[in-house]
Structure 1
């Protein structure tokens, strides 16, 4: 499996003074690859120079990419340094020619193949990663979040659907889903494929000119229904009572969503009209949203 070398600091480092209970997997201010327990899989871990908490954000790469690519493209490492959270960037479990793709059961990957029982279980791996990192002082189990680009955005949506007991909030980027497209009418999500055990706070980012995962729907078999229907479905799941009036921010970004939700689990969508299939996220706004939420 391909690994991209970025000159990461290894684990064999000189000792440094750290607070009791703090993450000690590498020197603060460094990014390195760590192997997760006995899983045989690893991830890139960014420990900020001044960690303010053990809040942990998973950054999930796009289809055909890897952990190094999402760190480089999203600039989330810089955001982690500003706000003091720990950042993890794993590789997905299904190797393809130029990288990896995520296992979202029931929908085809970008290769056109639907994952089968022989493929790695990414949800199980991420759960083990949370447990292992928490044991190392590198995660607060109540403050674990997921974001991702494209296929990684769809994977973070899937985590909201099936792993709400592990994640406090999600922030898909050009990838918000609320379950698989319905087999009978793919213009709508299949409600049986997204049944979170608790309300899931959602902030989603998208590009108005995204031709790969179009805001208005269509595209590949794993996409199909419009983003608005995903937003509305999350609002139903979260028991939201009031839609937010659509508004245009000073930046030109269009914001809409739902509020007055169970457990404070708001649903927010931000669309950059001129952006395409890119990292169309305001990282600081994402972190402010995450910071409001803790898992019960």
Structure 2
């Protein structure tokens, strides 16, 4: 990998480029301006856009960087690859698009991204996390599997596993959010009615079964039902597959009845994505989940 001369990052927003595997890759980094850097370095959340989207669109879609400003974490929005600037994808197994067809090694890109970022700002290596929407959620699943020694926890949204199975080197705490009325990546799996790729996606149950087993979590979940606080046609159930002791990690599923292919708590500008729940704040829940998990010390 070759890069432009290393530039230390101050607080604020930065666009960076990296040359990885003979491709110029982009990412946007938000370093908090209102919060104080922790003594151990910044927590970092990598946030992956959906298929046929891009990093700037994801910033507007989830606005996770705004929470990072006050809560005190660095937010990174990487760009996938594609022929058009506004339509990028990730190679996350069976999905998606250009990145899959060209066999782009996005796992290697993330490795190089983290190595470069650690030279620009002080990060806490025990507090590196990943989340993402749709194809970006699938990318978070893949990173948990392939880079389990780098990511303390992951939180996919609206995207299921892109592979048949997972074999992480260590259990990785995982939290998934998904709407039952998602017409792009169906809860039940298969081809979504509005899917652009027309791929036969795996189901949410497939992801849960694989990761509950990989994490050696309790296969019998604790189920919590929440009374709707907003009358928007959605309701929430939380399934917690608890860790069973040393060498185990929890798996959490938020089932959003009536929810579409959207980011909980953030209104979508596209009606075609379906209903957004306002009975769950994805950003707050994701950050609360991440704060409870760090990579174990060797």
268-277 or 223-232, larger mean C-alpha shift: 223-232
Deviation of 1:249 after TM superposition, in Å, equals 2.1
Could you tell which deviates more after superposition, 217-226 or 139-148? Answer: 217-226
Matched, 1:54 2:42: yes
1:185 paired residue number: none
1:219-244 deviations in whole A, cap 9, x for unaligned?
Answer: 26655332122112101000113522
Compute the RMSD of aligned alpha carbons: 2.4
- Taking a change above 3 Å as real, the CA distance of residues 295 and 69 of structure 1, as seen in their structure-2 partners, is same
Is the CA contact 1:93–1:122 (under 8 Å) kept in the aligned structure 2? no
Q: Secondary structure at the match of 1:271?
A: strand
Counterpart in 1 of 2:100?
115
2:112 aligned residue: 128
Which residues of 2 match residues 93-108 of structure 1 at below 5 A? 93-96=81-84, 98-105=86-93, 107-108=94-95
Offset from partner CA, 1:170-222 (integer Å, 9 cap, x none):
10000132x52xxxxxxxxx23xx21111011011111210111112222665
Alignment of 1:17-96 (within 5 A): 24-26=8-10, 28=11, 30-36=12-18, 40-49=24-33, 50=35, 51-52=37-38, 53-96=41-84
Distance 1:38 1:210 in 2: 34
TM-score after normalising by structure 1: 0.79
User: Which of 206, 226, 230 is the equivalent residue of 1:229?
Assistant: 206
Alignment of 1:129-278 (within 5 A): 129-177=113-161, 179-180=162-163, 190-191=164-165, 194-219=166-191, 222-251=199-228, 252-261=235-244, 262-263=246-247, 265-278=249-262
Structure 1 pair 222–246 and aligned structure 2 pair: CA distance change class (3 A): farther
Question: How many angstroms apart in 2 are the aligned matches of 1:222 and 1:234?
Answer: 22
User: What is the CA distance between 1:125 and its match in structure 2?
Assistant: 0.8
**Cα distance in 2 for residues equivalent to 1:95 and 1:265:** 39
Report the CA distance between 1:59 and its aligned residue. Answer: 0.5
Segments of 5+ residues of structure 2 without an aligned counterpart are 1-6, 193-197, 229-234, 265-280
Change (3 A) 1:230 1:35: same
1 or 2, which has the higher strand percentage?
2
- Please report how far the alpha carbon of residue 24 of structure 1 lies from its aligned counterpart in structure 2 after TM superposition: 4.6
Instruction: Give me the whole-angstrom Cα distance separating, in 2, the residues matched to 1:94 and 1:119.
Output: 12
**In 1, Cα distance between the equivalents of 2:285 and 2:95?**
31
Q: Distance in 2 between matches of 1:289 and 1:231?
A: 17
Q: Alignment partner of 1:115: what SS?
A: helix
Instruction: State TM-score, norm by structure 2.
Output: 0.78
Structure 1 unaligned runs (5+)? 1-22, 181-189
